[in-house]
Structure 1
């Protein structure tokens, strides 16, 4: 095997590893977003119902409505039953919705490509798939990238979550509408910063579980 071929193989496997690691991150984020029982625990722990003079079920109803809005491209307008909302707040949630719609599109495209890969694998030269594109190496590479991501994220949470939470918003949003005014957008009173930190930890747990599974599969196959 010449050096040029080895380099090309290395580049392709790493590119595919990056796409696979992104898929795992996206999948973990979407799973976490839909773990609505976690939010009920947060409401009770931080006494959000008592502090805001609204029942737990009313808060949960609006939260479920928010989650449905963020994930359903056919829901065009967000409406809360128990909270007022400013124009800036509505724009921010529209921006968040665009991010989640993009994540779903990425997942769908990735799954379609994966199905095509599995379909073509049995109908073309197996050398290409067994040697040139090694699925176990790709998975191992993606696991290595995820470990780096895990270390960076856990460091951000432990060192200064608020600082990096702010940085995250500055990177992904083109305005400062995410800086909610509690008087104009009281929904922020029932979405404490601690809740987002908990979601971040859950995402990390899901990622590390998948990394462990990938590493075990890789070394079993290698041996």
Structure 2
């Protein structure tokens, strides 16, 4: 049964990583303050002849559709999207639901895993996995910084099976108020949060090592 213990151990560590990543994504996609800052700084409302308040209302309507399974249809006060745009937003909603599902499932696994590590005084085991994980966000950030446009395109090609994410501003004005700079900042926020999470768990592991000496 050694293989079973190894599989269980690997599944627990994988669940911890997935929990951290999915949780970070949830925080980021709901960071409406970041969009508000972009709306103010870039005067996004003016590009579509909307006040800031009106623009934020539409943005919250979009978030409600993407976040809540009981909102089956995307309806925004001032934007009517083409069929391809609606398909894309539906695909994004499915990814949101997948992320929430991963977070919920891994939360259960991580809870019992964490309790076992604490009970057995093995929180020091966090050190090596977190030290290794700390290198990932900086490497991805460098790759993204070298050519963000190419990174953004590859990101969409990996996640989406079609080209519906290529919006036509003449048909889908919503794209005029969802600039690439905003998405770039979302990526940066994800990397900052996940890096902080890795560092925080690393500090817990190191503290456990000191207490064990």
1:84-123 correspondence to structure 2 within 5 Å? 84-117=80-113, 121=116
Q: Where does structure 1 lack aligned partners over 5 or more consecutive residues? A: none
Let me know the Cα RMSD of the aligned residues: 2.5
Looking at structure 1, the residues matched to 4 and 114 of structure 2 have their Cα atoms a distance apart, in angstroms, of 22
Shift of 1:135: 4.7
Looking at structure 2, the residues matched to 74 and 176 of structure 1 have their Cα atoms a distance apart, in angstroms, of 27
Q: Indicate whether 1:211 and 2:211 are aligned.
A: no
Q: Where does structure 2 lack aligned partners over 5 or more consecutive residues? A: none
**Does the 8 Å contact 2:35/2:182 carry over to 1?**
yes
Give CA deviations for 1:145-174 in whole Å, capped at 9, x if unaligned.
532430232112211111111101000100
Normalising by structure 2, what TM-score? 0.88
Looking at structure 2, the residues matched to 190 and 64 of structure 1 have their Cα atoms a distance apart, in angstroms, of 13
Shift of 1:17: 2.1
**Does the 8 Å contact 2:15/2:109 carry over to 1?**
no
Looking at structure 2, the residues matched to 57 and 10 of structure 1 have their Cα atoms a distance apart, in angstroms, of 54
Looking at structure 2, the residues matched to 204 and 11 of structure 1 have their Cα atoms a distance apart, in angstroms, of 28
Q: Indicate whether 1:202 and 2:189 are aligned.
A: yes
Q: Secondary structure at the match of 1:41?
A: helix
Normalising by structure 1, what TM-score? 0.84
Looking at structure 1, the residues matched to 4 and 79 of structure 2 have their Cα atoms a distance apart, in angstroms, of 55
Indicate the residue corresponding to 1:40 in structure 2: 36
Indicate the residue corresponding to 2:73 in structure 1: 77
1:5-44 correspondence to structure 2 within 5 Å? 12-44=8-40
Looking at structure 2, the residues matched to 70 and 54 of structure 1 have their Cα atoms a distance apart, in angstroms, of 22
Looking at structure 1, the residues matched to 132 and 23 of structure 2 have their Cα atoms a distance apart, in angstroms, of 15
**Does the 8 Å contact 1:21/1:142 carry over to 2?**
no
List structure 1 segments (4+ residues) > 4 angstroms apart after TM superposition: 7-12, 115-119
Shift in CA distance, 174/62, structure 1 to aligned 2, threshold 3 Å? same
Looking at structure 1, the residues matched to 138 and 4 of structure 2 have their Cα atoms a distance apart, in angstroms, of 29
